[in-house]
């Protein structure tokens, strides 16, 4: 199935209607969509490593790595390749199938690109999917990364276009869209989502989701982050978002982008096991393993494995031996088998 088989003409009115429908109905609909496209008990596991920390020239109000704020975070140089490979091996040993590398840059410099490209090729050779977030990319930079073997490029929109200038002023919304277009043109997969709980309203959450879903191709990975309030940033005292509103946003992301991996990302450290379980029920099927997401806390891998065990969830394995068509056929068969065994629910039938 191609991206063109899915809708790219969602309206704000439709998104608002989904975000405000009765909670049980929304979760039921999201879970039904999820089961059409994924094994409901598999979750893709990634690990994120900061390969260059601090002193970022951007003024993102949520970010402890911004050089505009005093958060006590020191500036660090680009990590040595040997250290990156050591971390990648540890991530793989703990069950991660994708290794993500992030650098606090506005965009990668010419002198740093050779090191970054070498990181990609060497991590790729370990049998891991590769992902990077390096700021804005020109087309030639995206092409170089794709040629080195980078699978995914992360570049979040963060929020709606309407609310964007309340969060960031050093780069425009169009700058972000241009980078996404360059990544897509290079042939890499897109990882793009946003952050909830930054003082935005329901329309801003709807606007972000509609923007993502109406891209020419849905992002293959959609991180849904809960704001981590870091002392020293302008957002350290913002009011908490209602957890149910977060789950609603995640569920609507699943409905609007049915075949994307929706990642329960930053903020899990402050979520109860019960809230995380609701997120999985709403269609989340990707997480970050590990103690840190760049510079903020994240549940340790052992705690995640224990939660997976309690919920009957298993890590999704990277499939390196089958074509997209073969994987689609296998998934279609699994869905058919589940329906035939009366385990699949739909709106017209009661549970068996």
User: Do the beta carbons of residue 166 and residue 226 sit within 8 Å?
Assistant: no
**What is the rounded CA–CA span in Å between residue 221 and residue 223?**
6
Examine the residue annotation and report whether 279 is marked as an active-site residue of this protein. Answer: no
Rounded CA Rg of the chain: 19
* List 29, 35, 60, 192, catalytic entry: 60
* List 63, 192, 254, 268, catalytic entry: 63
* List 29, 98, 248, 263, catalytic entry: 263
In the DSSP assignment, the letter for residue 166 is: G
Contacts 24+ apart (CB under 8 A), 308-315: 308/43, 310/273, 311/277, 311/280, 312/41, 313/41, 313/42, 313/43, 313/280, 314/41, 314/42, 314/43, 315/42, 315/43, 315/44, 315/45, 315/95, 315/97
In the DSSP assignment, the letter for residue 230 is: -
Largest interatomic CA distance in the chain: 62
Pairing of strands 129-133, 152-154: parallel
* List 29, 35, 56, 279, catalytic entry: 56
Q: For residue 297, which of 220, 198, 228, 203 has the smallest C-alpha distance?
A: 228
Burial status of residue 32 (CB atoms within 10 A of its CB: 0-12, 13-18, 19 or more): middle
**What is the rounded CA–CA span in Å between residue 125 and residue 148?**
11
* List 35, 131, 248, 268, catalytic entry: 131
CA distances from 85 to 76, 124, 200, 261, 293 (A): 18, 10, 38, 25, 17
Examine the residue annotation and report whether 56 is marked as an active-site residue of this protein. Answer: yes
**What is the rounded CA–CA span in Å between residue 255 and residue 25?**
12
* List 29, 100, 248, 254, catalytic entry: 100
User: Do the beta carbons of residue 113 and residue 141 sit within 8 Å?
Assistant: yes
Q: Where are the beta strands (DSSP E) in 78-124?
A: 98-103
Give the contacts of 80 (CB within 8 A, at least 6 positions apart): none
Examine the residue annotation and report whether 60 is marked as an active-site residue of this protein. Answer: yes
Examine the residue annotation and report whether 263 is marked as an active-site residue of this protein. Answer: yes
* List 176, 191, 268, 279, catalytic entry: 191
Active-site residue numbers? 56, 60, 63, 100, 131, 191, 263
């Amino acid at each position: 199935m191609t991206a063109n088989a899915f809708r790219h003409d969602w309206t704000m009115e439709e998104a608002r209607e989904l975000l405000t429908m009765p909670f049980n109905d929304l979760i039921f609909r999201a879970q039904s969509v999820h089961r059409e496209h994924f094994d409901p008990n598999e979750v893709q596991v990634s690990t994120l490593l900061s390969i260059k920390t601090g002193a970022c020239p951007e003024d993102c109000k949520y970010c402890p790595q911004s050089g505009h704020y005093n958060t006590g975070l020191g500036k660090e140089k680009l990590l040595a390749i040997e250290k990156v490979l050591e971390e990648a091996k540890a991530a793989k040993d703990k069950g991660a199938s994708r290794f993500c590398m992030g650098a606090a840059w506005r965009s990668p410099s010419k002198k740093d690109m050779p090191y970054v490209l070498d990181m990609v090729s060497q991590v790729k050779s370990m049998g891991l999917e590769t992902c990077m977030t390096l700021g804005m990319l020109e087309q030639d930079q995206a092409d170089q990364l794709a040629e080195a073997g980078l699978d995914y490029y992360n570049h979040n929109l963060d929020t709606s276009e309407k609310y964007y200038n309340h969060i960031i002023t050093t780069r425009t919304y169009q700058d972000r869209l241009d980078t996404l277009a360059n990544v897509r043109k290079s042939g890499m997969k897109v990882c793009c989502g946003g952050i909830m709980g930054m003082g935005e309203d329901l329309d801003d959450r709807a606007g972000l989701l509609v923007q993502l879903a109406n891209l020419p191709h849905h992002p293959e990975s959609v991180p849904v982050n809960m704001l981590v309030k870091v002392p020293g940033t302008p957002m350290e005292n913002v009011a908490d978002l209602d957890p149910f509103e977060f789950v609603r946003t995640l569920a609507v992301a699943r409905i609007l982008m049915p075949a994307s991996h929706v990642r329960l990302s930053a903020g899990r450290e402050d979520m109860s096991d019960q809230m995380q379980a609701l997120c999985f029920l709403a269609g989340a099927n990707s997480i970050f393993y590990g103690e840190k997401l760049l510079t903020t806390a994240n549940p340790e891998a052992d705690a995640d494995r224990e939660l997976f065990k309690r919920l009957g969830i298993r890590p999704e394995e990277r499939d390196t031996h089958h074509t997209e068509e073969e994987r689609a056929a296998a998934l279609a068969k699994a869905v058919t088998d589940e329906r035939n065994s009366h385990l699949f629910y739909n709106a017209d039938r009661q549970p068996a």
